[in-house]
Structure 1
């Protein structure tokens, strides 16, 4: 790529490293959000009350409950803020998205061919960090443990930078991992009633104090528990890691695909519900555990053990792994010298340089 384009590429990559960038399907619902809101009969109190699944251009259908959390309640301030932001999206010349053609081809095609006044959407991904930061001391111990495990034998469990579970759900997840009999590397945070509480305040407690009594001793050798943070890039790229239980943040989703790890999807907030639907039903590289609606959606230990076994040992899990490998290769191709994302970024850089005189 020519020098001015390289400068702009570096700027875009830095932006993506420091922002939570939504995928094409989330961008699609955002640009349609304002018009959907105008139909008061369709969303009388919020998108959670959609009488029919929402069909987006080029996407599978989404239930109202899977749409981003701020749009669930029409009377909330968050709803109004998001609505205003989405209405302004139509004033943009374009949207740069951290995704790639072979991952969301149908959505991209539908947006390009649509008669609606959508902004142009430019795919430049997957753009990811190549290594984690602050890998030292206790954080590196998990990598040492991982290096002593057989190939594809370990399930990595992490809910991202801010995700937390309730105490009841933490207990069930722990006991389900133990029950599965499979090896696991688990990033544990102290429980909370808010799914994103780790974003809101520092975690001062020792998360290990909240695990079921005797869990650490019983799973010694089977699992490795890391308080609060682990070097995710190094874990996902490791040959011993065979699967990823994830909150479905878009960065984590792309990392799983780039490193070829099938997923157990466990969305908590934001657009993660939409991502979970895409991962399981459109990309078909993950499975989703069922929560007990009679127990506030708690995923019980038997269900946890079931989905772990599906991903780690079943024929279905092997097919998930095969499909993930196909997308892994497609991601690498998109970023190659003649790849779709490289060309898209080069064209974008040329346009910007023409405007700025670089």
Structure 2
């Protein structure tokens, strides 16, 4: 699952209850940002305009940046945008009701809401607070270790690599 107990505690508990199986959080592994210097520079000034892919979301929240999302290329981007909106760490750019496109006016309005309006203050503060989760190397390592243990325990014996 691409989350952790610290980010979505109620959802993780619900999945465990519904499926009666362990939930292994694996989504907090921060992408290597060394080769994405342009992306980092874009995030420094308070918000990050993103397509809503999970790696971009993690990168932005790692630096405490509110997200402005223009989703649409894949199914999970719309879900990610709704998650960010629900957690009050980002806004999705509204689409033109006629054809589903984005207009420059709608993009500008969303940026204005996040960066200048009172509603944006809370979004920026919440995104800044997410650094404690997404920039936490120990938590990321624990997620990866838990995922590795899960795979080793439940994978068929022929799937284990010989080291």
User: Normalised by the size of structure 1, how large is the TM-score?
Assistant: 0.38
The superposition leaves residues 16-46 of structure 1 with CA deviations (integer Å, 9 ceiling, x where unpaired) of xxxxxxxxxxxxxxxxxxxxxxxxxxxxxxx
Structure 2, unaligned runs of 5 or more = none
The answer to which structure has the higher strand fraction is 1
Aligned length: 155
CA distance change for structure 1 residues 236 and 277 in 2, over 3 Å: closer, same or farther? same
Structure 1, unaligned runs of 5 or more = 1-96, 136-142, 144-230
Report what 2:119 is aligned to. Answer: 316
Report what 1:332 is aligned to. Answer: 135
CA distance change for structure 1 residues 280 and 132 in 2, over 3 Å: closer, same or farther? same
Superposition CA RMSD, Å: 2.7
The alpha-carbon deviation at position 304 of structure 1 amounts to 2.3
Over alpha carbons, which structure has the higher Rg?
Answer: 1
Report if aligned partners of 2:67, 2:89 keep a CA contact under 8 Å in 1: yes
The alpha-carbon deviation at position 247 of structure 1 amounts to 1.1
The alpha-carbon deviation at position 235 of structure 1 amounts to 2.3
The alpha-carbon deviation at position 276 of structure 1 amounts to 0.9
1:265 aligns with 2:69: yes
CA distance change for structure 1 residues 259 and 126 in 2, over 3 Å: closer, same or farther? same
1:100 aligns with 2:4: yes
Report if aligned partners of 2:63, 2:135 keep a CA contact under 8 Å in 1: no
Report what 2:14 is aligned to. Answer: 110
1:243 aligns with 2:42: no
The answer to which structure has the higher helix fraction is 2
- Which residue, out of 243, 256, 275, partners 2:80? 275
Report if aligned partners of 2:58, 2:134 keep a CA contact under 8 Å in 1: no
Report if aligned partners of 2:63, 2:131 keep a CA contact under 8 Å in 1: yes
List aligned pairs for 1:151-230, cutoff 5 A: none
The alpha-carbon deviation at position 98 of structure 1 amounts to 4.1
The alpha-carbon deviation at position 273 of structure 1 amounts to 0.9
Report what 2:106 is aligned to. Answer: 303
The alpha-carbon deviation at position 287 of structure 1 amounts to 1.6
- Which residue, out of 103, 124, 128, partners 2:26? 124
Report if aligned partners of 1:244, 1:256 keep a CA contact under 8 Å in 2: yes
Report if aligned partners of 1:289, 1:303 keep a CA contact under 8 Å in 2: yes
